[in-house]
Structure 1
Amino acid sequence: MANRLNQLLKQWRDSKDSQKWVLATIIETDGSSYRKAGAMMMINDLGQYFGLLSGGCLESDIMLQARRCWDSGHNRIVEYDMREEEDLAWKLGIGCGGMVRILLQPVDGENDYLQLDNLYALLEANEAAEYCQVIDQKSPKNTLSTAAPSDRPVAELGVFKQVLKPAPHLAVFGGGVDARPVVAIAMQLGWQITLVDPRTSYARDGHFDASVNLVRQPINSLGQSVWLQQIDMALIMTHNIKLDAQSLALVQSSAAKYVGMLGPIHRTDRVLDLLPINRDQLTKPLANPVGLRLGGELPESIALSMLSEAHAFIEQQDGLSISGILS
């Protein structure tokens, strides 16, 4: 299921005039909840929804509430309070123990599609945007700005404001068999993916989704590539020392915040000797050996390990067990 905002908007754009749509946004939570303020979902009159605001427990009722938006053309605010035994959420058996307030807004040409067309264009151009939604039960009045003063969603003076960012962009250097689960999992996360491999026998057609940006030029010729300044993460896994060295040199001038390289330390030392520099001279911190200690030897397990570390890094989390059961 697509949950990233750019994926939701793509689903909507393909039939924005042939179906009725509602945008559902969590504007406030208190206590335990599946998603936090800012989470969005798109709903249409075919009974389909894209994205999740709960673990699937609230969606059927949200769908019913959305129909009132189509009838009135106005916003609707609904609240599910799992703290109260008399509340609908409790009767639905959710039992998360928290409260969720959701703003439902009809999406149509009369309200300029809530600026979602323009928002999608900005996200596709790798630009962040401040999206503002007026919190009332009147006709929608949403505004969009490229200014991004705050990363934290806030509800103040009757307006819900949040900065919406493009999906994270991962560059994978190496199109071997073990790159396939890396790309597949990253796609499930909704990430943008650039796959780089100049070798004709690697990254073959049919092994990777058509939405992957496949780059086949020699690695040492890619220094001026636009995508280099759009990536957030890079994983180097060509299994070729010379190509790994070229890849590592290339990403030093990129926008990547996280760089991981597959292989043991002694092999990476050989890669660095080809540059020739040492680890202290790298402009980007190098995760090597790459990944979290998840165990498993199959390519899928290794892919999960690498992507878990990259995910934790860009989300600025520690990657530790939430329950502490592993400590």
Structure 2
Amino acid sequence: MKEIKQIIQAYHQALSDGKKAVLATVVHIEGSSYRAPGARMLVRDDGMLTGAISGGCLEGDILRKALMVMATNKPLLVTYDTSDEGSNIISVNLGCNGIIRVLLEPIQQKNDHNPIKLLEKAISKRQKAILVTYFSPDDKKHVLQGTKLLFTPNGVTSDQDHLPFGFSFIEADIQNTWKQHHSGFIRFPDVANNAASFHAFMEYLEPSPALVIAGAGNDVFPLVEIAKTLGWEITIVDGRPMYANENRFPTCQLLLTEPKDAIGKVNIDERTAFVLMSHNYDYDKAILKTILHSPVKYIGLLGPTKKRDRILQELGEEGVAIPEDTGIPQNLFAPTGLQIGAETSEEIALSIIAEIQGIFTGNTGSSLRNLNGHIHHRKMGLVPSKKCYGIIVLAAGQSKRLGFPKQAVPFKGSTLLQHAITQAAALKTAATLTVISAGDEQRNLATITETEMVENPDFQEGMASSIRTGINHILKHYPYLEYLIIMLCDQPYVESSHLQTLIDTQQKTGKKVVASLYEGRKGVPALFHRSLFPKLLELRGDTGAKNLITELGNQVVSVPFPLAAYDVDTTVAIEKIADNNKL
């Protein structure tokens, strides 16, 4: 966040100075690199640089290319290979062993949704956001590349006139990125048969850490300075105006208040850390009492373990809930700081800040030399967009065992058919297809707007004919689809979360088939790569996709889902789900 703020400030200074500017953003890496995706640098036409995209190795070349972008007023994707001197892309022998893609964007001042404006809006409030930057490895000069869209809990802001895809096309991918709480790299299908395909860097942005310090003594100064260097938001809470004043802490928010009133004056979220160092036992205890069960992820208490134990004992006697097993709340770090032999106030401040950083990033703070593997666990995998997937709901058939249409069986205030369609449609893939019998009156049992109804003229043959009908429709109308999920309408406990797990598993493993595992066998719902469509089209009779799954053996990865074993083929099965499914 600090770098973003500096870049915004530098851009406004460039405007004031009458200078043009280009924004350089690392949008993807393969292998290792000094900076992660989201690293940015603002380049002015006079050569002034703000921010960094590497350790100083690429900046010179980026400056030269940025001047070209200013001249053409068009974006440019530059790819650096830091490991292969023989590559046909720009090779730089840095020893990082990675490929770095940097997007250069001219900043159009008159565009109300230019990248700087979107960055400004992204950090204007303490909230999470997703910033979408499109880039095209197939066409490095494509004019629709750029930082184009901002998603926040309050809505969507986008450069609508210059988007490769509208928000509705990428909404499912944004929502998935939001749920995963980390940035994603999405590969979109070429739906319009263009020469260039687009990728998107969906950058998951979180607010800067907010550090609240209870106490305004002299030993607070080093803590404030280090936090300020990191770009954290700092609040000082103290009841003594002689200590907590602007002359001593000009860059901090100051709260002159009693402990009981402090909690109501501080905006607390999961990115907030408290450090209690007032050197006043009652003041620290009173603050701790008000925040112990708040969303605060880190509460540091300065002082020895005896002080901690005494405070917790007294708070327990006052009715504050204290864990019985450990006696120490999970968010309380007392004594505060990492064990690095700190003695001076500066060293103690360093140990405290390092511990907070580790807690916020989920790291222990151990020595890197003892680490096996990569230093950074960045999720850089480029995954297919939801628009590369489709779902076929098999709902044709005569329900011979049941004696009447199973699709109409009541379930969760609707019918089995509608429930299956609703769960499939919730994934917002490119296509949700429901195969029904020719002339099937069951069409009236579903909300057609959630799905495409396709009639199977050969439904009496059995399930294989429905699979063929669905795949032939997909091949004709959605030729760009890469994966299909095949599911049945009579498995009542299959919900969208399980279907999403099939997709997640495929993206993690790269397998061509992901099946559900139940009763010791693999079956549907199952996901298939398009290379297996010919095999599915060869199915005949009442043979379903399960036979192909069995034939593929170890090529299939499975996801345990015992509830898939429940299907509705008999009146006994209907009775089991009749009372709102107590399973």
Same fold (TM over 0.5): yes
* Alignment partner, residue 8 of structure 1: 7
> 2:368 matched to 1:322?
yes
Change (3 A) 1:303 1:52: same
Bigger shift: residues 67-76 or 211-220: 211-220
Do residues 262 (structure 1) and 268 (structure 2) align? Answer: no
- Residues 1:165 and 1:304: Cα distance change in structure 2 (over 3 Å): same
Which residue matches 1:211? Answer: 251
Question: Residue in 2 aligned with 1:38?
Answer: 38
Deviates more, 1:172-181 or 1:198-207: 198-207
The letter for the 2-side match of 1:306 is I
Q: Distance in 2 between matches of 1:289 and 1:283?
A: 13
Residue among 170, 178, 184 paired with 1:153:
184
Q: Which residue identity is paired with 1:12?
A: Y
Cα distance in 1 for partners of 2:312, 2:351 equals 23
Which structure dedicates a bigger proportion of its chain to helix?
2
Matches within 5 A, 1:64-143: 64-86=64-86, 94-112=94-112, 114-136=114-136, 137=141, 138-141=143-146, 142-143=148-149
- Cα distance in structure 2, aligned partners of 1:56 and 1:113: 30
1:113 shift after superposition: 5.0
Length, aligned pairs only: 322
- Deviation by residue 1:275-295 (Cα, 9 ceiling, x = unmatched): 444742877621011111112
SS in structure 1 opposite 2:352? helix
The residue type equivalent to 2:253 in the other structure is N
- In the TM superposition, residue 226 of structure 1 has moved relative to its aligned partner by 4.8
Distance in 1 separating the partners of 2:112 and 2:329: 45
Aligned to 2:268, the other structure's residue is in SS state: helix
Following superposition, the deviation at residue 215 of structure 1 comes to: 1.2
Does residue 1:144 correspond to 2:150, yes or no?
yes
CA offsets 1:38-76 (integer angstroms, 9 cap, x no match): 222222223222222111121122111111111111111
Which amino acid in the other structure matches residue 242 of structure 2?
A: S
Give the 3 Å change call, closer, same or farther, for CA 33–118 of structure 1 in structure 2: closer
Task: Name the residue aligned to 1:307.
Answer: 353
For residues 139-185 of structure 1, the C-alpha deviation after alignment (integer angstroms, 9 at most, x for no partner) is 55511111563222314222221122221111111111111111110
Change (3 A) 1:56 1:71: same
Q: TM-score w.r.t. structure 2 length?
A: 0.51
**Alignment CA distance shift 1:99-1:52 (3 Å):** same
Q: Give the TM-score taking structure 1 as reference length.
A: 0.88
C-alpha separation between the residues in 2 aligned to 1:112 and 1:36?
A: 28
Q: Residues 176-230 of structure 1, C-alpha deviation per residue, up to 9 Å, x if partnerless?
A: 111111111011111111111111232343333x332111122212332252347
RMSD: 2.6
Q: Which structure would you say has the larger Rg?
A: 2
Instruction: Report if aligned partners of 1:37, 1:153 keep a CA contact under 8 Å in 2.
Output: no
Distance 2:184 2:8 in 1: 19
Cα contact 2:83–2:94 (8 A) shared by 1? no
Task: Note if contact 2:237-2:262 (Cα within 8 Å) is conserved in structure 1.
Answer: no
- Alignment partner of 2:243 out of 193, 202, 209: 202
Tell which deviates more after alignment, 271-280 or 33-42: 271-280
More displaced stretch, 135-144 vs 168-177: 135-144
How far, CA to CA, are the matches of 2:57 and 2:229 in structure 1?
22
Query: 1:20 touches 1:70 (CA, 8 Å); kept in 2?
Result: yes
Structure 1: where are the runs of 5+ without partners? none
SS in 2 for 1:134: strand
Q: Deviations over 1:236-269 (max 9, x none)?
A: 1111101101221232354321111111111123
The aligned residue for residue 288 of structure 1 is 334
Which residue identity does 2:233 align to in structure 1? Q
**Aligned partner of residue 367 in structure 2, secondary structure:** coil
| Structure 1 pair 89–289 and aligned structure 2 pair: CA distance change class (3 A) | farther
Cα deviation, residue 82, structure 1: 1.4
- Contact kept, 8 Å, 1:20 with 1:108, in 2: the verdict is no
Is it true that 1:240 corresponds to 2:280 in the alignment? yes
Which region of structure 1 is more displaced relative to structure 2, 175-184 or 145-154? 145-154
> Residues 259 and 284 of structure 1 are in contact (CA less than 8 Å); yes or no, is this contact kept in structure 2?
no
CA distance in 1 between partners of 2:184 and 2:41 (Å): 16
Matches of 1:68 and 1:245 in 2, distance apart? 60
Q: 254-263 or 140-149, which moves further after superposition?
A: 140-149
Deviation larger for 263-272 or 234-243: 263-272
- In 1: Cα distance, 2:213 partner to 2:45 partner: 39
- 3-state SS of 2:227 partner: helix
Question: In structure 1, what residue type is equivalent to 2:36?
Answer: K
Q: Secondary structure at the match of 1:4?
A: helix
